[in-house]
Structure 1
Amino acid sequence: MISAYTGTQIREAEKRVLEAGLDAGADAVLMQRAAYGLANTVIRELRSRGQRLYGSSVTVLAGKGNNGGDGLFAAVLLAGRGMRTTAVLTGGDAHAAGLAAFRKAGGRAVALTAGNGAEQAAAAARADVVIDAVLGTGARGGLRGPAADLMAALERARPRLVVACDIPSGVDADTGEAPAPVLTADVTVTFGAAKAGLLADPGADFAGRVQVLPIGIEAGLPWPALQRLEAGDLAALLPHPGRRAHKYSRGVLGVVAGSAAYPGAAVLACRGALAAGAGMVRYLGPPDVADLVRRWCPEIVCSTGAVADAHVQAWLVGSGLDESDEQQLQRARDAADSGLPTIADAGALPALPEVLAPQVVLTPHAGELAALLKRLGVELDRPAVEAATLGAVRRAAGLTEATVLLKGATTLVASPYQDFYSQAEGTPWLATAGSGDVLAGVIGALLAQLGADVGRFAERGIDPDARWAAIAAMAASLHGRAGALASGGGPVTAGAIAGSIPEVIRTL
């Protein structure tokens, strides 16, 4: 499992290490470790591109603080490998020891001014590698002045290779907010642990591949601000039917979905649930939609009855519901009130009460989350949600007391207990009609199979009270992996995503 932390958590861990060392040189040791890892990453990246080191050029964009010092000391090590080094001092000055070592190693330092920004941007764009070491984890509010102009010009020019030092300058380490301009990195070398802002949009848009380098503070880190499940976590958490398992013991999911306008949503939700291993699926809905469900999924048991009469372990409601179908909306309300784990897709949200429960999983995209927050008295439009996804999903979970999964390029899950997950295994081709219905089916199947298995999550260090968020994150990961497998780099349909889920589970 990848654990990510806020900048404040990282700085506090560093402070404890420094205080425990009782040595004025401990700070320099941490900086040298960071610089060594940064320099080695640059070397590996250049070699992987077939670039020789000797004679190659590196430009360090160095701020005044420790982040700039990390970049300057890394350039010293690169100069020792025969690289030509230039430092653009974006604040007019830089970390004193780092700058002195840089000059001693033969580096050329230039102070950035309003008058030479275009010249420095053009020169940096021609370098073989640019190291972004302007702002670190403590920065807020983005770049300003000549440094902002320099970054904007470089983002337009797109240098050959950009390596960010700890975090792309301008990205908020805590939230992922990224006021323009931000220079998009090919690789972000982050120290001690991943930063939460690198695993949340829009910060993740600029991070490229994130490489975590230990520097000796890791043992002092607290409970993470954000987590990401990996393949090993999924393998351990996914259900494994025992020899005497039967369809009822493997989880029965009730589905309230589909309408005359969107009958396919019910089919896709049911296909997703079957593919993710539900032992049985019961569909409740209009007869014409039920007929379509039977044709596509003969395994489904269809009924026009009431929620109270269906014996299930979890509910899926909302996919493809029509706001004019009061009977289906009432079924959705009854399911959410049942006390059973419930996945509520967007079509059900307007019909549900404002305050729910942790075992209810809401799955809006950014526009639907904005509408939900507006009903709760929070005026955020879709662009505002997309500009601060972590803050928006945190707020929604706190107000609704439900588990909230925000769909997107990076899918975020927040529990009302303030446990957060970030998953990003998918492909842009997943942005296709019906994809979210399949995801709802996967979540529903896992809720039915795993909702009562408290011990399974406790063994992995997951708070049992917040297991609903972990289940939703598992489903998001499976869905993303299935989409990437089905796509193979090209267009994919929702049905193909559902069809690939069993293969992903077998592989895991």
Structure 2
Amino acid sequence: MISAYTGTQIREAERPLISAGAGAVLMQRAAYGMANAVIRELASRGIRPYGASVAVLAGKGNNGGDGLFAAAFLAARGMRTTAVLTAGDAHPEGLAAFERAGGRALTLTDHNAGGLAAAAAGADVVIDAVLGTGAQGGLRGATASLIGTLNSGPHGFVVACDIPSGVNADTGEAFDPVLSADATVTFGGVKAGLLADPGADHAGRVLVIPIGIEGELPPPALRRLESADLARLLPPPARRSHKYTRGVLGVVAGSEQYPGAAVLACRGALAAGAGMVRYLGPPEATRLVRQACPEVVCGPDNVADAHVQAWLVGSGIADGDDQQLQRVRDAVETGLPVAADAGALPALPDVLARHVVLTPHGGELARLLQRYGIDLGRQGVDGATLDAVRRAAERTSATVLLKGATTLVAAPSGPVFSQAEATPWMATAGSGDVLSGVLGSLLAQHSDDEEKFEACGISADQRWAAIGAMAASLHGLAGTLASNGGPVTAGAIAACLPEVMRTL
């Protein structure tokens, strides 16, 4: 499992070592790791380090010092190194080491930003070491002009030092202009802002360099499940399992206007291993479900008469469908785990519980937050996804799964889960209905497995968010498998789920 931390958490972990006089050692470890990462990146691209060129964009703080020391190591390996000092000043020891190694330092001004940008663009490698984890806001003045010019044309591959300049290490907010990295080499621990959009848009591959503070780190602010975690958390059926012990899911989905959503939700639930799916919906949707999924039991008409372990509600429910919306409210009142998708959100009470997992996209989350007097708008949500999903979970007291290129899952308290296995090709109609089915299926199968989650370091209260992360991960892996680099349909995503689970 990947753990990620805020910039404040990292700095607090560094503080005892810095107080003990080890600050220079931490910087050397970071710089050495950065230099080796650059060399490995060059090798992967078929470029010999000796004679290759590197331009380091260095701010005046410790982040700039990390970049300058890294460039000094690279100069010692025969690379031609140039530093652009973006603040007119630089970390004294880092600059001295850089110049001793033969590096050339140039000072950025309002008058030479274009020329220095052109020179940096011609380098094989550009190291972004302007702003570090403690920076607030974005780049300004000549530095902003320099980065804007670099962004406008071709340039060498970009390695961000700890975090891309202009990305908030705590929240993932990005303040233009940001020089998007091909790889971010981060020190001591992953920064939370690298695993949340829009920061993740600019991070590229994230490489972690241990520097000796790892034993001082507190509980993480953000976590990401990996394949090994999924394998541990997805138990195969026991020898004497039967359909009722494997999880029975009730599905309230679809409408006369959107009957296909019910089919896709049921297909997702079946493919993710539910022992039985019971469907409650209008006649046209019921007919389609029977045709497409003969395994699904259609009926009864009322939530109270359905014997299930969890509910999936909301996919494809249209405004004004009073009977389906009443079923949504009845399902929530059962006290069972609930996956609540788009159409269900307006019908839910203001205060819910952790075992209710809401699954909005950005626009739906913006409308949900408006109910609580928080007017971010879609643009505000998309620009600060981590903050938005946390606020939604706190206000609703539910678990909130915010769908996106990076899917975030937040409980009312504790670390947020972040998953990013999906391919952009999955941005297609019905994909979210399949995800809801997967989530409902996992809630029915695994909601009582407290010991299994605790064995993975996930508390009982946090298991609902972890189940949401599991669903997002399986859905993303299945979509990537189905896509194989090209267009994909929601039905194909569902069809690939069993193969993904077999592989895990």
Q: Which category describes the TM-score, using the shorter chain as reference length?
A: over 0.9
Q: Which residue of 1 aligns with 2:352?
A: 356
> Is the 1:189–1:210 contact (alpha carbons within 8 Å) kept by the matching residues of 2?
yes
1:400 alignment counterpart:
396
Match of 1:471 among 438, 461, 467: 467
C-alpha distance in 1 between matches for 2:415 and 2:336: 21
Q: Within the alignment, does 1:329 sit opposite 2:325 as a pair?
A: yes
**Equivalent AA in structure 1 for residue 61 of structure 2:** G
Q: Is the 8 A contact 1:176 1:204 kept in 2?
A: yes
| Aligned partner of residue 348 in structure 1, secondary structure | helix
Structure 2 equivalent of residue 501 of structure 1: 497
SS of the equivalent of 1:249 reads: coil
Question: Is 1:266 aligned to residue 240 of structure 2?
Answer: no
What SS does the corresponding residue of 1:227 show, helix, strand or coil?
A: strand
Deviation at 1:17, TM superposition (A): 2.5
Deviations along 1:258-300, whole A, 9 cap, x unmatched? 0011000000000000000000000011122111101000000
Q: Contact conserved, 1:287 with 1:304, CA < 8 A, in 2?
A: no
Q: Which residue of 2 aligns with 1:445?
A: 441
Match of 1:342 in 2: 338
Count how many residue pairs are aligned between Structure 1 and Structure 2.
504
Equivalent residue number for residue 308 of structure 1: 304
Give the distance between the partners of 1:166 and 1:178, measured in 2 at CA. 15
* Mapped partners of 1:11, 1:31: distance in 2: 13
The CA deviation at 1:250 is 0.2
Deviation at 1:18, TM superposition (A): 2.7
2:314 aligned partner, one-letter code: G
Counterpart Cα distance in 1 of 2:283 and 2:9:
55
**Within 2, Cα distance between the matches of 1:73 and 1:286?**
67
Matched, 1:169 2:165: yes
Secondary structure, counterpart of 1:356 in structure 2: coil
Query: What is the rounded CA distance, in whole Å, between the counterparts of 2:288 and 2:137 in structure 1?
Result: 52
Aligned-partner Cα distance in 2 for 1:3–1:376 = 31
Report the AA paired with residue 112 of structure 1: L
* Superposed CA offset, 1:374-405 (max 9, x none): 12211111011000000000000000000000
- Name the counterpart of 1:6: 6
Q: What corresponds to 1:17 in structure 2?
A: 17
Amino acid across the alignment from 1:276: A
The letter of the residue matching 2:9 is: Q
Aligned residue among 374, 396, 405 for 1:409: 405
Alpha-carbon displacement from aligned partner over 1:58-89 (angstroms, at most 9, x marks no partner): 00000001100010001111111111110000
The correspondence of residues 55-454 of structure 1 with structure 2, limited to 5 A, is 55-454=51-450
Any conservation in 1 of the 2:58–2:90 contact (CA below 8 Å)?
Answer: yes
Q: Distance in 1 between matches of 2:414 and 2:480?
A: 29
Q: Distance in 2 between matches of 1:363 and 1:192?
A: 33
Cα offsets for 1:113-156 (capped at 9, x unmatched): 00110000010000110000000000011111111111111111
The 8 Å contact of residues 354 and 411 in structure 2, kept in 1 or not, is answered as yes
The answer to which of 244-253 and 413-422 deviates more is 413-422
CA contact (8 A) 1:286 1:304 kept: no
Q: Secondary structure at the match of 1:282?
A: strand
Aligned residue number for residue 45 of structure 1: 41
What do residues 310-347 of structure 1 show as CA deviations (whole Å, max 9, x unaligned)?
A: 00000000000011110100000111111000000011
Partners of 2:130 and 2:165 within 8 A in 1: yes
TM-score, scaled relative to structure 1: 0.98
Amino acid at match of 2:277: V
| Residue in structure 1 matched with residue 485 of structure 2 by the alignment | 489
Contact persistence 1:253–1:282 (CA under 8 A): yes
Q: CA deviation at 1:304?
A: 4.7
Q: Which amino acid aligns with 2:471?
A: A
Q: CA deviation at 1:481?
A: 0.2
For 2:73 and 2:481, the matched residues in 1 are separated by 41
RMSD across aligned positions (CA):
0.7
Secondary structure of the corresponding residue to residue 434 of structure 2? helix
> Following the alignment from structure 1 to structure 2, what is the Cα–Cα distance between the partners of residues 332 and 400?
16
Partners of 1:254 and 1:123 lie apart in 2 by 62
Counterpart amino acid of residue 462 in structure 1 = I
Separation in 1, partners of 2:217, 2:363:
35
SS at match of 2:255: coil
Is the CA contact 2:300–2:306 (under 8 Å) kept in the aligned structure 1? no
Deviation at 1:419, TM superposition (A): 2.6
TM-score under structure 2 length normalisation: 0.99
C-alpha distance after superposition, 1:323-374 (max 9, x if no partner): 1110100000111111000000011101111111110000000011001111
Q: Secondary structure at the match of 1:370?
A: helix
CA contact (8 A) 1:438 1:494 kept: yes
2:151 is aligned with what amino acid? E
Paired residue secondary structure (1:503):
helix
Measure the CA separation in 1 of the matches of 2:318 and 2:143.
Answer: 51
Counterparts of 1:398 and 1:340 in 2: how far apart (Å)?
20
| Contact 2:54/2:126 (8 A) holds in 1 | yes
State the distance in 1 between where 2:194 and 2:49 align: 29
Distance 2:141 2:333 in 1: 54
- Name the SS for the 1:396 alignment partner: helix
